[in-house]
Amino acid sequence: MTAVPEPTSPFRWDLVSPAQLGALLDAVPEPDLWFLPDLLECAGKVLARSADADLYFVGRSPDSIFDLLSGALAGTTWRDRCHRLPLSLWSDPDALTPAQVTQFRSNLSHLGITPHGLAHRQRPVAFVDLVHGGRTYENLLYLLRRWVGDERAAWSVIRTKVRFIGITARTKTSPNTWRWYQAALWATHLPRSALVGVSLRRWLWEYFGDHQHKITRSFPVIRWLDQDTHVPARDPNALAALAEAVAIVAYGRSPEGRAGLAAAIAGEPTMRDPWVRSLVTELRPRGPGARGNKES
């Protein structure tokens, strides 16, 4: 019997409990979180359109959304609902070696994603990523379906348990507006409700996807088998990214951040759903000063 490999992933600091950072950021300039209003709006829409799912943030592009939500949800019943799925999946999935496919499955199993688990879970799983044409999602679904087939699991059930939230660069809306999933053949294997769009202003989408420095190293297929990925990056760019991420988490935990996120969610049509109203109630600050925080 082949041994199951240990999961691998790039090291990332625990920013919700950042005591481990010590004096690491003492000499790093305070970051300018110039994008907070747009980030709050985007994060609120991701939550409101998730169908009460557990959220898995794919790769590094949506890190700031993950960080904001990790902070804001830390004191709620949603505190364990956000996860990172660190992988870069642009390669042809048919070109993966058997060892790489096994490692992929080990990494997802470590996060609680398996064919058996998907078929029997109550809440759906929602993958979240910045998308252009949806190639990463296409490859991810392909590998998941291959895994489901190998284990003879019930795809007819599993297809109702997965959602793909694609964060796109905002364009002018019209009846002919192109949606990222409309021309994707792979999308026909899922219910239409499983494919969700959230837009960001283009310059911010490009910042998060192409220009923002990240805490962790990229994790392409060729690094999946590396067992030495648990070493934090400490170069100046990584430390600047760490300072920015720490500040985003702290803002999410603040009354102002929680109130802003609640306001973004409350503007969504799904506010009529009981689970959304319950979450907003948890997020809204209470006690002295709450009114000012709600209006900030």
Question: Does residue 290 carry a pLDDT above 80?
Answer: no
Angle in degrees, 0-180, between the axes of helices 274-283 and 255-266, rounded to the nearest 10:
160
- If you average pLDDT over residues 195-224, what whole number do you get? 92
pLDDT of residue 225: 81
- Res. 287 pLDDT band, cuts 50 70 90: low
pLDDT of residue 259: 97
Beta bridge partners of 169: 200
pLDDT of residue 294: 36
Concatenated DSSP letters for the chain?
-PPPPPP-------SSSGGGGTTTTTTSPPP--TTHHHHHHHHHHHHHTS-SPEEEEESSTTHHHHHHHHHHTTTSTTTTSEEEE-----S-GGG--HHHHHHHHHHHHHTT--HHHHHH-SS-EEEEEE-SS-HHHHHHHHHHHHHHHHTT--HHHHTTSEEEEEEEE-----TT---TTTT-GGGGGS-GGGEEEEEE-HHHHHIIIIIS--SSPP--GGGTT-S-------SHHHHHHHHHHHHHHHHHHSHHHHHHHHHHHHTSGGGGSHHHHHHHHHHS--STTHHHHHT-
What does pTM read for this prediction?
A: 0.92
C-alpha span between 55 and 40 (Å, rounded) = 16
pLDDT of residue 84: 96
pLDDT of residue 296: 30
Question: Does residue 185 carry a pLDDT above 90?
Answer: no
C-alpha span between 58 and 126 (Å, rounded) = 10
- Of the two residues 296 and 21, the one the predictor is more confident about is 21
- If you average pLDDT over residues 30-45, what whole number do you get? 97
C-alpha span between 287 and 205 (Å, rounded) = 36
Backbone angles phi, psi at 126, to 5 degrees: -120, 120
Handedness of CA 165, 150, 185, 130 (dihedral sign): positive
Percent above pLDDT 90 for the chain: 73
Handedness of CA 28, 63, 255, 295 (dihedral sign): positive
**Segment 137-179, tens digit of pLDDT:** 999 999 999 999 999 999 999 999 999 999 999 987 766 676 7
C-alpha span between 125 and 53 (Å, rounded) = 5
